[in-house]
């Protein structure tokens, strides 16, 4: 493939600003699919979790042909919890498409992903997406994006960015808002800008081979595939090469298969050259960051630096009375093997054995980062328990305790701003910005990460489900003091039983319930939230006393309020330090830690 005709582009944006939908349209309008071919929506989101949640979790590679150019697309996650993916795949790109919502404008993750692109000195094309929204304000958004570039100290050549206006959902793009939509019912404007403003990849084919692995994929037939860009030299099947590992050691390997990307599929090829993004098989223990290079003149590329984890949780084997009933993989050895596999593919994840108990301390970027891992494991048949998330503290050179802070952006109706400001103030949040437009308020806070643990459900309650909150890691700052996240106690089961409707009916006035009747329970399991600040031991199997006297109309109907059914993220955010979330393929339960003395 001719080097000058290759374009490698990363698509970066805040979560839900339309990256994956835009990629769908670029592929469809490239003519790579037959007219009668069924193409699924969000083609690049291949994981079940990605399709269910509507977010991109792992970076994906694809490509399409435009005229005589070959455009490689890297679809990146928008959520900062998966920033480790963004940081390393930008090494493959020679430019970036920055998508910004035509109504919302730049958001916290826009700031995060753009900062990473500028650190890699990538030229940026700004795509104002969703211009068909009724409340779209394109000129304002362009001004906000320019201000963001200035804030991030972008050099003059990148400040003069090109702008494309598009509706990925509607399938059209144009260079000016004055253009006629009907004559632009395609993605040619985006492709034209990529060809014109993104440079061809640099490098020389006569230099020693250099290819750094940016992402890992797994094939059931070929094992682990390393994906990266050929920076220098050429690569062929069965070519003897060496791998420069992260620890500095060199290992000889032989390439067994090379794949080029065509739309979202992989096509086997014999030889690839400079600038091509490829997947290669042949090394079983390939990890992110290693460099495939020439055995006679090895030249490792600089290691990928990753922002440190800010949140940790303990993953421990399940020791509840129901342990082993629902899971396939239940031992600490099973858990360790799975964490080891995940850490090879996700360089932002760390794990280590606990010194004082059986289990592992797992550290990541945020609650979402770790909860996605937990959800993947339970779907694969793993059964285990997790503790409350803890922020990772540091000490500076003077011995002062430092903790991570987040930059939080909140969009709420004016009616609810008072409640939000009050709650965030109690959680040690410091408001930095406040803007009002069309009855909506945008508030920007800097707040300790600890303050946001478990806050989302409270936020949704305060804003009647209409608020939007997003946050991104800001910096490590001085310890902010004690923060109280949950003030209510819980309802704890007294003894093993099956929940009875009559008993739950009588417990309703004591607090909110988390279960339905007929559920099997064990001692120490949490079935609801107490209306007071102390824990309450209850008997959810206590039935109605029977007598031999019965009068017409004396039995009242039992009317139960629907229970609060919490998701995995809700449960993780809810628990206190003396509580656990029990995770199995079929159930998610809350419980008190073992050894708690329960008093009736």
| SS3 category, 304 | coil
13-38 in b/e form (b: 16+ CB < 10 A) is bbbbbbbbbbbbbbbbbbebeeeeee
Residues 6+ apart with CB under 8 A from 261: 61, 62, 63, 72, 267, 277, 278, 279
- In Å, the largest CA–CA distance within the chain is 99
Separation CA 184–CA 173 (nearest Å): 6
Pair type for strands 384-386 and 291-293: unpaired
Count of C-beta atoms within a 10 Å radius of residue 91: 18
On whether 247 is known to bind a ligand per the annotation, the reply is: no
Q: Write phi, then psi, for 278 (nearest 5 degrees).
A: -135, 165
| SS3 category, 428 | coil
On whether 294 is known to bind a ligand per the annotation, the reply is: no
On whether 16 is known to bind a ligand per the annotation, the reply is: yes
Q: What is the DSSP string of 370-414?
A: HHHHHHHHHHTTB-EEE---EE--EE-TT--EEEEEEEEEEEEEG
Strand partners, 253: 241
Burial (CB count <10 Å: 0-12, 13-18, 19+), residue 58: buried
Count of C-beta atoms within a 10 Å radius of residue 120: 14
On whether 129 is known to bind a ligand per the annotation, the reply is: yes
Q: Is 320 left (phi over 0), alpha (psi -120 to 50) or beta?
A: beta
On whether 426 is known to bind a ligand per the annotation, the reply is: no
On whether 21 is known to bind a ligand per the annotation, the reply is: yes
On whether 62 is known to bind a ligand per the annotation, the reply is: no
On whether 156 is known to bind a ligand per the annotation, the reply is: no
The annotation places the binding site at 16-21, 129-132
Annotated binding site for GTP: 16-21, 129-132
């Amino acid at each position: 493939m001719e080097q000058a005709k290759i374009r490698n582009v990363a698509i970066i944006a805040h979560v839900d600003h339309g990256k994956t939908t835009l990629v769908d349209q670029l592929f469809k309008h490239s003519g790579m699919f037959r007219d009668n071919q069924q193409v699924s929506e969000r083609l690049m989101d291949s994981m079940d979790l990605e399709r269910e949640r509507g977010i991109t979790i792992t970076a994906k590679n694809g490509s399409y042909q435009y005229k005589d150019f070959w455009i490689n697309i890297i679809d990146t996650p928008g959520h900062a919890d998966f920033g480790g993916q963004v940081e390393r795949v930008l090494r493959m790109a020679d430019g970036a498409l920055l998508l910004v919502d035509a109504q919302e404008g730049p958001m916290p993750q826009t700031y995060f992903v753009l900062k990473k692109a500028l650190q890699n000195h990538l030229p940026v094309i700004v795509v104002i997406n969703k211009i068909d929204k009724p409340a779209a304000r394109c000129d304002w958004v362009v001004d906000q994006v320019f201000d963001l570039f200035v804030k991030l100290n972008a050099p003059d050549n990148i400040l003069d960015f090109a702008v494309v206006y598009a509706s990925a959902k509607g399938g059209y793009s144009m260079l000016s808002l004055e253009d006629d939509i009907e004559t632009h019912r395609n993605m040619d404007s985006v492709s034209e800008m990529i060809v014109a403003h993104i440079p061809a990849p640099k490098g020389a084919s006569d230099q020693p081979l250099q290819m750094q692995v940016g992402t890992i994929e797994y094939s059931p037939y070929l094992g682990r595939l390393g994906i990266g860009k050929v920076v220098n030299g050429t690569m062929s099947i069965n070519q003897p090469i060496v791998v420069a590992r992260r620890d500095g050691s060199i290992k000889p390997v032989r390439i067994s298969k090379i794949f080029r990307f065509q739309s979202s599929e992989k096509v086997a090829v014999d030889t690839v050259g400079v600038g091509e993004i490829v997947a290669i098989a042949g090394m079983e223990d390939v990890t992110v960051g290693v460099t495939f290079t020439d055995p006679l003149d090895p030249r490792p590329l600089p290691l990928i630096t990753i922002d440190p984890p800010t949140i940790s949780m303990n993953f421990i084997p399940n020791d509840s009375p129901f342990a082993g009933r629902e899971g396939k993989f239940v031992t600490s050895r099973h858990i360790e093997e799975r964490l080891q596999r995940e850490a090879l593919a996700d360089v932002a994840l760390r794990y280590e054995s606990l010194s004082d108990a059986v289990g592992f301390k797992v550290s990541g970027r945020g609650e979402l980062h770790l909860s996605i891992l937990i959800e993947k494991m339970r779907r694969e048949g793993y059964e285990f328990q997790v503790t409350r998330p803890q922020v990772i503290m540091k000490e500076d050179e003077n011995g002062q305790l430092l903790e991570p802070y987040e930059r939080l952006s909140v969009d709420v109706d004016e009616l609810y701003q008072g409640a939000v400001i009050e709650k965030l103030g109690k959680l040690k949040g410091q408001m930095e910005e406040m803007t009002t437009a069309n009855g909506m308020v945008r508030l920007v806070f800097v707040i300790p990460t600890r303050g946001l643990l478990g806050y989302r459900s409270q936020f949704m309650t305060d804003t009647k489900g209409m608020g939007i909150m997003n946050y991104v890691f800001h910096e490590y700052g001085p310890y902010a003091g004690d923060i109280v996240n949950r003030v209510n106690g819980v309802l704890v089961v007294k003894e093993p039983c099956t929940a009875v409707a009559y008993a739950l009916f009588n417990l309703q006035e004591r607090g909110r319930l988390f279960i339905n009747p007929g559920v099997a329970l064990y001692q120490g399991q949490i079935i609801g939230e107490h209306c007071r600040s102390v824990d309450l031991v209850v008997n959810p199997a206590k039935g109605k006393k029977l007598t031999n006297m019965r009068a017409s109309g004396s039995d009242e109907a039992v009317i139960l309020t629907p229970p609060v059914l919490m998701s995995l993220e809700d449960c993780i955010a809810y628990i206190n330090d003396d509580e656990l979330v029990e995770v199995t393929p079929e159930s998610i339960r809350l419980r008190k830690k073992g050894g708690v003395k329960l008093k009736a």
